[in-house]
Chain A
């Protein structure tokens, strides 16, 4: 082999070995596990069966799946409703403030989400800041029961995931040519018409990216429902975790994961469609 080819061969081999073993193989294995049978001794074994998928989609699992989807969808919608105007405000901020506003948005993005989930617990506890503040202001007389409710779970998710919605939206809206808005207004469009006709269509790819970045973690960040929802709010993430590490029914957990991957794929379809086709540059 030529000296110049040796490096290419080695680096390709290393890359492929790693991706083959630690990415491709695990994904294939999860698919295989989902159609195996649970076994006391070796965890999983033949015969092949689709029983796990059947069990996951019916019985006790189905309502939890639906409930997870509902919570995730509500969280995503809230993130969008709050995040969209906020992203737009940042794009319109003056050159002096914009970097600061972005930086302030980035910092929580990088803070461990575990710690942020924990911080929300501190806020919502019976003796948490919100209750103390409300009592101090005389609005309530005894602490509200905030922790371990759906409200708490959604606040935690919203708190954790809001930056993931704002950042792609900002990246998208920042690219919007401001003269387009002025042109629309110049042509006599009302604000609502400008928004609907110019801004919204332009920001569809940003919305889709944001939705993907929020929706999936909202279903799978299992420690958020665990910290904030207690035993009451079980989401699909908790269920998969439970199935794997407590009950030890790997096929069922794997089947749920496969379904989760399919949901991911479903969400990605509009994302791919919204991406502009790369045009091949001629040399």
Chain B
């Protein structure tokens, strides 16, 4: 009897937690199709808010900006990150510990502090707040995740692979290009997807380093929620949710395949 009760309690507990995690998201999704403007009362299925989204020029621009930024920042983060991971893994150099420390700092530093720090940097350099400031910031906060992922993957590879390439006459560049990058393949893709998600979702750092010349989606949503909840936010959240899901599942499948 005791065993059965325990099982029931365990299952109920898990169920409640998943309910807690999913109900709010599902409510947003469901009500993005609700005709009603203000209340939570269901007044019928409608794609009205999606139609409105499509016609909202500002949101479309911000979405395009976010996608572009995400694409460019995660690509450059993966490029830089693979160089950095190889440096940390393979080379002995002055200040290796400091570099390690900086990667670790980037992982643990609160986004808020990083946002402010970059804002101060861009003020002093000076870099005008807009696309470039966002690009630098996003690449930077994606970097540690790329480095950690790739560094771990490099650690799993047989180090004799690198040595034997060198032994056969490969220069460091040939080794990087023909051995390391192909072997990192799936890890490169999953760290790119991770970076892209991080970039698309970021609010806090972007909040400090964005400028009016280059509006991005999360900040647009932030402003919309602040000024009052509109069903349009439900619709756009649903779309983002869908894409996130696609990305997470895709990244998981790629990792599983490896």
A, B assembled together? yes
Q: Which residues on the B side are within 8 Å of A105 (C-beta)?
A: 21
Known: A82-B17, A104-B18, A114-B222. A129 touches B110 (CB 8 A): no
A-B interface contact total, Cβ < 8 Å = 216
Checking A26, A212, A219 against B118 with a beta-carbon cut-off of 8 angstroms, the contacting residue is A26
**Alpha-carbon gap, A8 to B216, bound state (A):** 37
Q: Which residue of B lies closest to A212 (CB)?
A: B108
**Alpha-carbon gap, A151 to B74, bound state (A):** 37
Q: Which residues on the A side are within 8 Å of B87 (C-beta)?
A: 8, 11-12, 15
| B252 part of interface (Cβ distance < 8 Å) | yes
Q: Which residues on the A side are within 8 Å of B21 (C-beta)?
A: 104-105, 108, 159, 162-163
B225 touches A122 (CB 8 A): no
Task: Please provide the chain B residues from 10 to 36 with a CB less than 8 Å away from any CB of chain A in the complex.
Answer: 10, 13-14, 17-18, 20-25, 27-28, 31
Q: Which residues on the A side are within 8 Å of B119 (C-beta)?
A: 244
A115 touches B241 (CB 8 A): yes
Checking A24, A82, A111, A122 against B31 with a beta-carbon cut-off of 8 angstroms, the contacting residue is A122
Q: Which residue of B lies closest to A119 (CB)?
A: B24
B80 touches A18 (CB 8 A): yes
**Alpha-carbon gap, A120 to B208, bound state (A):** 24
Q: Which residue of B lies closest to A23 (CB)?
A: B102
Closest CB-CB distance, B141 to chain A, in whole Å?
A: 9
**Alpha-carbon gap, A6 to B173, bound state (A):** 8
**Alpha-carbon gap, A19 to B119, bound state (A):** 16
Q: Which residues on the A side are within 8 Å of B121 (C-beta)?
A: 21-22, 25-26, 29
B83 touches A8 (CB 8 A): no
Q: Which residue of A lies closest to B173 (CB)?
A: A7
B27 touches A15 (CB 8 A): no
Q: Which residues on the A side are within 8 Å of B27 (C-beta)?
A: 119, 122-123, 129
**Alpha-carbon gap, A119 to B10, bound state (A):** 27
Interface residues of B (CB under 8 A from A): 10, 13-14, 17-18, 20-25, 27-28, 31, 38-41, 80, 83-84, 86-87, 91, 93, 95, 99, 102-103, 105-106, 108-114, 116-121, 123-124, 136-137, 139-140, 143, 171-173, 176, 197, 200-201, 203-204, 207-208, 218, 221-222, 225-226, 229, 233-234, 237, 240-241, 244-245, 247-248, 252
What are the 4 tightest A-B residue pairs by CB atom distance, in nearest-first order? A26-B117, A119-B24, A7-B172, A112-B201
Q: Mind listing 23 A-B residue pairs with CB under 8 Å? A: A7-B172, A8-B172, A11-B87, A12-B87, A12-B93, A14-B83, A19-B102, A23-B106, A25-B121, A26-B121, A27-B109, A30-B117, A86-B14, A101-B14, A107-B248, A112-B203, A114-B221, A116-B25, A127-B41, A132-B40, A132-B41, A217-B110, A250-B120
Given contacts A8-B87, A222-B204, 16 further A-B contacts (CB under 8 A): A15-B83, A21-B121, A23-B105, A24-B102, A26-B120, A29-B121, A108-B22, A108-B25, A110-B247, A116-B25, A119-B28, A123-B27, A127-B40, A220-B110, A257-B112, A260-B110
